[in-house]
Chains A and B, each alone.
Chain A
Amino acid sequence: DAGVTQSPTHLIKTRGQQVTLRCSPKSGHDTVSWYQQALGQGPQFIFQYYEEEERQRGNFPDRFSGHQFPNYSSELNVNALLLGDSALYLCASSASPGGRDEQYFGPGTRLTVT
């Protein structure tokens, strides 16, 4: 049973560029959340997708957008990259959007913006 997978593992981009990160949830899960984790900090909630719609959003600008596909996989897009966007981006999936089900995290994508 595959867990949460993310691609790519590492990515280097230049300021102003755009990036797309991908996530496949754990088998049986239909809800995907995205987090940004800066070095030495806890994960910061970006948004959550359920039934192909954004259901909850954290305090992130519109440069951060996402999508969920019919097979429950998800993408995170970041436009006009800033140096401060350098972080580990974590995807987490759960079996339902609001139950006591735990979130399973993927290994993350390390984004470096130069």
Chain B
Amino acid sequence: GQNIDQPTEMTATEGAIVQINCTYQTSGFNGLFWYQQHAGEAPTFLSYNVLDGLEEKGRFSSFLSRSKGYSYLLLKELQMKDSASYLCAVREPGGYQKVTFGIGTKLQVIP
């Protein structure tokens, strides 16, 4: 099985940078996803990491260290619309996409 840990809540200031950490303990690993979920809405895809290192996509970057069971999502130039929950999710190995989600980190961006 999978155990995924991420902070429950974070607060950051508009225009700043915030890093949301995720650690996982798994019996297997085949990729890590980050999703954004606004209140009352469906999750939307942000990033996918399967190899170690940093992947950058605009204001959002995601980092993975498989040996440490660790990932982070970096959000730059924060905007008020970034206030949302950020979900870390790990995919198990095998031919089918069984994905385990963390509880999510609720980020509040303040002026």
Q: Are A42 and B48 in contact (CB under 8 A)?
A: no
Name which of B12-20, B61-69, B100-108 contacts chain A. Answer: B100-108
Q: Are A45 and B103 in contact (CB under 8 A)?
A: no
Partner of B31, one of A44, A55, A100, A104: A100
Q: Which residues from B are CB-within-8-Å of A50?
A: 96
Asked if A56 meets B48 with Cβ closer than 8 Å, knowing A41-B104, A100-B31, the reply is: no
In this complex, how many residues of chain A approach chain B with their Cβ under 8 Å: the count is 27
Asked if A97 meets B96 with Cβ closer than 8 Å, knowing A41-B104, A102-B48, the reply is: yes
Please report the number of residue pairs spanning A and B whose Cβ atoms sit closer than 8 angstroms.
64
**Shortest distance from the beta carbon of B9 to any chain A beta carbon, whole Å:** 11
Q: Are B42 and A98 in contact (CB under 8 A)?
A: no
Asked if A102 meets B42 with Cβ closer than 8 Å, knowing A44-B101, A58-B98, the reply is: no
- Name the interface residues of B58-111: CB closer than 8 Å to any CB of A: 87, 89, 94-104
A73: CB under 8 A from chain B? no
> When each residue 33-55 of chain B gets 1 if its CB lies under 8 Å from chain A and 0 otherwise, what string results?
10100000111110010100000
- Name the interface residues of A55-75: CB closer than 8 Å to any CB of B: 55-56, 58
- Name the interface residues of A11-63: CB closer than 8 Å to any CB of B: 31, 33, 35, 40-45, 48, 50, 55-56, 58
Which residues of B come within 8 Å of A, CB atoms? Answer: 4, 30-31, 33, 35, 41-45, 48, 50, 87, 89, 94-104
| Additional A-B contacts beyond A41-B104, A43-B87, A103-B33 (14; CB < 8 A) | A35-B101, A42-B89, A42-B104, A44-B101, A45-B101, A97-B97, A98-B94, A98-B95, A98-B96, A100-B50, A102-B45, A103-B97, A105-B42, A106-B42
